[in-house]
Structure 1
Amino acid sequence: MKFPQSVLIWGDMSSAGVGPLCFIKSRVSAGIYQILDHFMVPPTGELYGDADFIFQQDLAPAHTAKSTKTWLNDHGITVLDWPANLPDLNPIENLWGISKRKMRDMRLSNAAELTAAIEASWSSITPQQCHRLIASMPHHIEAVIDTEGSRTKY
């Protein structure tokens, strides 16, 4: 396609599997980031039960806004401290890559087809894939330490 379709998505994962996707129709701001009410809180119970968890996100402005921090605090959600300028070590980035590779050869002609393909790709991700990605993180961290914060093969 000369001008390929694109969509903005929020998703989450844990070693127990993936949560539901949220397709966002506007740019992400602190106000829109309150999608967590519907797309994070309910699935968290399904993915973790009563177990504790730590939420990892990058330092995008919507993620670090005062209202977002207040919302996370009010809901008792612990957020992983994340230093600026650190290579992205969030396992969900690798999961997005897996999802994209599953759709690589698809010929999609509109946003609706793209959305359906993304949903199908995402729902085919197994808990085992998620667990392997999370279990691989110590190796990723070690590689970043070895390169003193420079690029790694991950």
Structure 2
Amino acid sequence: MSSAGVVLLCFIKSRINAAIYQEILEHFMLPSADKLYGDADFISQEDLTPAHTAKSTKTWFNDHGITVLDWPANSPDRNPIENL
């Protein structure tokens, strides 16, 4: 979800590691971002879970030219889903 709207929902049936997270980014986040923002830039907000902070995930974001806003794990400001 974003300020621009909501799109694809991904149901996850396994534990998340960096490789699985990057597949989710590739197949769900990128198409959603393209639909919401087109060619405009956007910032992805990530917390400090291991899949989000893995070197390979940081490389994935860098390779795709996506800016990442780091956010503390368990931040009360990090739960916008309740407002959705």
Using the size of structure 2 for normalisation, the TM-score is 0.85
Is 2:41–2:66's contact at 8 Å kept on the other side of the alignment?
no
Match for 1:58: what amino acid?
D
Distance 2:67 2:58 in 1: 10
Larger radius of gyration: 1
What SS class does the counterpart of residue 21 from structure 1 fall into? coil
Which of 10, 23, 27 aligns to 1:22? It is 10
Query: Out of 30, 33, 43, which is 1:54 matched to?
Result: 43
Q: Distance in 2 between matches of 1:81 and 1:62?
A: 13
| 2:64 is equivalent to residue 75 of structure 1 | yes
Question: How far does residue 81 in structure 1 lie from its aligned partner after superposition?
Answer: 3.0
Which runs of 5 or more structure 2 residues have no equivalent in the other structure?
none
Alpha-carbon distance in 2 for matches of 1:75, 1:47: 16
Following superposition, the deviation at residue 49 of structure 1 comes to: 1.6
Identity rate, percent: 66
Aligned to 1:31: 19
CA contact (8 A) 2:47 2:73 kept: no
The letter of the residue matching 1:71 is W
Match of 1:88 among 70, 76, 84: 76
Which residue type is aligned with residue 33 of structure 2? T
- 2:27 aligned with 1:41, yes or no? no
Q: 1:64-143 to 2 correspondence within 5 Å? A: 64-82=53-71, 84=72, 87-90=75-78, 93-95=79-81, 97-98=82-83
Paired residues in the alignment total 83
Change (3 A) 1:25 1:77: same
SS of equivalent to 2:18: coil
- TM-score when normalising by structure 1: 0.49
